[in-house]
Amino acid sequence: MSQFDLFSQPENQFSSLDDVINALKHMKDDPLADAGTNVVISRGSPDAKLLIIGEAPGPEENIKGKPFVGRAGQMLDKVLQAANFDPEKDVYITNSVFRMPPGEDGKAFRKPTNEEIEYYRPYVFEIIRLIDPRIILLTGNVASQSVLRKTGITSLRGKWTELDGRWIMPIFHPSYLLRNPVRSPGSPKALMWEDIREVRKKYDELTK
Ligand code: URA
């Protein structure tokens, strides 16, 4: 049985979000277990209709135990707030990989490998099933690879995929906006603002 099929049968699925969180907290044989980094799972409201999936925790998230609490998280919150979403009440935020992949050559962290993304994917899908959001935003290539099995964020961003009654949109990773801070027509920031406005429209349609 592949890792992807792990929870495909209802009898193997978790019965609550707390159960998935507990299983993740006690993981011992995941590919990053020996990395010595902490398990970081989620923040926000489990009742949210908007789910955001990131890449993997960074150094601040590793320390604080919550996703997107560093500079990228502040940028993400700003984007959400620009569309009138309250990051604590309207949104549930998680990642594709649940431990920080340790960096090499003096770097604090690295990008997750394909093997790591594959390993954690079934847990990501269980979180999706149990949160039961109407809209899922995938920040960057790693989250798009995990959920849609696609990469190429520049062409994927801003486009909806409907899957099992949920609307999924890849968007730029907020770190990309931090690296490209100038907002001019067609810039990553301008495109992100376009995307989040589109998300707001869809959210209003789906939740009214
Ligand atoms: N970047 C991510 O993708 N996730 C985090 O939790 C922090 C930074």
Q: How far apart are CA 159 and CA 163, in angstroms?
A: 13
Q: How far apart are CA 131 and CA 93, in angstroms?
A: 11
Domain limits at 42? 3-207
Say how many domains are in the chain: 1
Distance 179 CA to ligand 1 centre (A): 15
Q: Which atom of ligand 1 is nearest to the CA of 95?
A: 4
Distance 7 CA to ligand 1 centre (A): 25
CATH of the domain at 155: 3.40.470.10
Q: Is the CB of 95 under 6 A from ligand 1?
A: yes
Distance 15 CA to ligand 1 centre (A): 27
Which residues, in sequence order, are CB contacts of 49 under 8 Å at separation 6+? 90, 133, 134, 135, 203, 206, 207
Cα 138 → chain centroid: 6
Q: How far apart are CA 164 and CA 196, in angstroms?
A: 22
Probe target for ligand 1 pocket from 24, 74, 95, 145, with the most ligand atoms within 8 Å of CB: 95
Kindly report the CA angle at 170 between 104 and 3, in degrees rounded to 5?
Answer: 60
Q: Kindly compute the dihedral angle of the four CA atoms of residues 85, 88, 92, 95, in this order, to the nearest 10 degrees.
A: 110
From first to last of its 208 residues, the chain has per-residue pLDDT tens of: 455 567 888 888 999 999 999 999 999 999 999 999 999 999 999 999 999 999 999 999 999 999 999 999 999 999 999 999 999 999 999 999 999 999 988 899 999 999 999 999 999 999 999 999 999 999 999 999 999 999 999 999 999 999 989 999 999 999 999 999 999 999 999 999 999 999 999 999 999 8
